[in-house]
Amino acid sequence: MPIINYPDAPGGYVNRIDQASKSNRNRIAIGSADLTTDTLSLRVTNLWEAWRIKEIAFSFTNANARTFTISKVSGLGIITHRNDYFWLAHTDVVAQRIIITPGFYRTDASFTAEVKSQLDSNAAFAAAGITFTVAHDLDTRLFSITPSSGQVKYVYDNTSQSARTKSIASPVLGFTADTVFGAAATGTVPVDLDVEYVVDSNVGDTSTTYLFTDALEMDLDSELLITSNTGVGVIITAKVTYVEL
């Protein structure tokens, strides 16, 4: 979900000077593990709308056969004032702005727990004795928000405020418009979380070095994952070089 020209966010764009200063600057992430008793699990995320894996350099302490995999994993990246809040109204409570904590959410469990926590801790909803269930359907991949009582409405465009403001987290939650009051507010656009796409796999490799140089395009909602097997007497080190675009 690129947000460089996010139309509904305050400011609506990433500062071009900041972008230029960060572009083409190499960044490094390193992970290492002794596969005798451990496994490598290196995860690299970057809360930036577009970035690229330039190369991944592996080194091994000997030629013992081992297996390692490079994958791209989908998730949800949240940035303050870019895609971090939405409005929700209840039949007993006027529309409330719910702010999602910035960070990268890999699984539906972690993200739905965060949204539920923010809803339940909202002062107006809590005063009315309302709690929420937030779910992500594994089949439809749609998010839904259900109150403990009464009805709710997802407010895509909050015109009731003196300063008109939209729910800038709508693409994250899969909403494209206001809903009507109902037993639950359910998005209409499927959202993928924790989906792993294997881009390179090496089974029984015996080299002492390995270099992955295919450019791997990433975004705010992407995570690089490098994993290995275990039970092999060898130390593996992976050095990831990436750049923000």
Read off the pLDDT of residues 148-197 as tens digits, 9 standing for 90 and up.
999 999 999 998 766 568 999 999 999 999 999 999 999 999 999 999 99
Q: Over the stretch 18-54, which tens digit does the pLDDT of each residue have?
A: 555 555 689 999 999 999 999 999 999 999 989 999 9
**What is the residue extent of each domain of the chain?**
16-75+195-244, 78-186
Q: Are the beta carbons of 228 and 60 closer than 8 angstroms?
A: no
CATH class of the structural domain 16-75+195-244: mainly beta
Residue 52 identity (one-letter amino acid):
R
- Say yes or no to pLDDT of 5 above 60: no
Measured between alpha carbons, how far is 233 from 38 in angstroms, rounded to an integer? 10
Provide mean pLDDT across the span 205-224.
96
Residue 150 identity (one-letter amino acid):
G
Residue 126, classed as helix, strand or coil, is helix
- Say yes or no to pLDDT of 142 above 50: yes
Q: Which of 113, 81, 78, 74 is nearest to 97 (CA)?
A: 81
- 244: tokens are 């923000």
Measured between alpha carbons, how far is 28 from 48 in angstroms, rounded to an integer? 15
DSSP string, 9-50: SSS-S--HHHHHHHBT-EEEEEEEEETTT---EEEEE--SSE
- Say yes or no to pLDDT of 7 above 50: no
What is the model's pLDDT at position 22?
Answer: 55
The angle at the Cα of 228, spanning 225 to 230, to the nearest 5 degrees, equals 145
The whole-angstrom distance between residue 229's C-alpha and the CA centroid of its chain comes to 26
**Residue 15: pLDDT band by 50, 70, 90 thresholds?**
low
The burial class, CB within 10 Å (0-12 / 13-18 / 19+), for 235 is: middle
Residue 226 identity (one-letter amino acid):
I
**Residue 12: pLDDT band by 50, 70, 90 thresholds?**
very low
